[in-house]
Structure 1
Amino acid sequence: MLKGFKDFLMRGNVVDLAVAVVIGSAFTAIVTAFTGGLIKPLINTIGGTDAAQGLGFRIFSSNPLTFLDFGAVINAAINFVLVAAVVYFVIVMPVKKLQERRKRGQEPGPSEPTDVELLIEIRDLLRAQNRREEDRG
């Protein structure tokens, strides 16, 4: 069972999909909380013309909507770098190492179905198709 699961993971674009899911979901929330709660306040201590809002300044001092928030841009860049680094070192790099070992023959690749397994699958599909046709007629 585990060998079949391992073969499934190594076929097609499963690794690419896993990377997309990791970036798009839970890990991004963790990194955002880290940078928003810890890094951005440190960046904001540098201050600007309006220390209450953080690192940046207002184009028009009478309009708070014209605040240019450099701290938020720096925070987003740090988010991106942290997420990309973790995904690379935790997912991409180990998969590349495994693929290299398979190319050298040190690790067996995904197993191909045997002729008997293919014939059984074809038989089962034909049976299911015949049952549907009998149910209609």
Structure 2
Amino acid sequence: MNSMFKGFKDFIMRGNVVDLAVGIVIGAAFTAVVTAFTDAFLKPLIQLMGGGSGQQKGVWTVNGVEFDYATFINAVITFLLTAAVLYFLVVYPLNKLAERRKRGEEPPPAAPSEDIKLLTEIRDALIRQQVPPGAANDLLGRGQQPPRS
């Protein structure tokens, strides 16, 4: 049973699965934005260009059957915009980063913050002075207080 969970953990922690999950979430969120844009702006433009009057804009009627071509064109544009933005904002940058890592040109890690530098200096100074582990609390006035009576 334990090996089954270990295998599942290894599967989930693989970069591909995590990348896929992130891509799906970002894609779903961005699709909602693109769909709202195309429904609010592009579909009315398609209907204006398609002519027709009243409720019939963007719709062909043949023998009483309506063919809503404006909705179809709108869906195609939504798909293309979503795919293009996801490619250029997610896939392309991640592929470039992967190429750099393979070539060993990974960008250097960010410099540590001032807080980390200060804490490192304090740690090094304490080590140089051979201060016992609890002495830092004593120096800072955090030692144990005597019990109150």
Q: 1:43 aligns with which of 46, 54, 58?
A: 46
Identity across the alignment (%): 44
Larger Rg, first or second structure (1 or 2): 2
Question: Separation in 1 of the partners of 2:58 and 2:49?
Answer: 6
Count the aligned residue pairs: 96
Q: Highest relative contact order (Cα 8 Å, sep 6+), 1 or 2?
A: 1
Q: 1:56 aligns with which of 55, 59, 77?
A: 59
Aligned to 2:68: 69
Q: Deviations over 1:13-68 (max 9, x none)?
A: 322221122222x21111111000100000001235555232231112xx4xx210
Question: Separation in 1 of the partners of 2:45 and 2:72?
Answer: 14
Q: Deviations over 1:65-117 (max 9, x none)?
A: x2101111100000001110111011101100010000100118xxxxxxxxx
Question: Separation in 2 of the partners of 1:73 and 1:12?
Answer: 33
Q: 1:16 aligns with which of 16, 20, 37?
A: 20
CA contact (8 A) 1:43 1:71 kept: yes
> Which one-letter code corresponds to 1:37 in the other structure?
A
Q: 2:35 aligns with which of 11, 32, 37?
A: 32
Aligned to 1:89: 88
Q: Deviations over 1:105-135 (max 9, x none)?
A: 0118xxxxxxxxxxxxxxxxxxxxxxxxxxx
> Which one-letter code corresponds to 1:72 in the other structure?
T
Question: Separation in 2 of the partners of 1:51 and 1:57?
Answer: 13
> Which one-letter code corresponds to 1:99 in the other structure?
A
CA contact (8 A) 1:50 1:57 kept: no
The runs of 5 or more residues in structure 2 that have no matched partner are 1-12, 108-149
Question: Separation in 2 of the partners of 1:10 and 1:94?
Answer: 19
Aligned to 1:111: none
The runs of 5 or more residues in structure 1 that have no matched partner are 1-8, 109-137
> Which one-letter code corresponds to 2:18 in the other structure?
V
Bigger shift: 50-59 or 93-102? 50-59
TM-score by length of 1: 0.61
Distance 1:88 1:10, change over 3 A: farther
TM-score by length of 2: 0.57
Q: Secondary structure at the match of 1:55?
A: coil
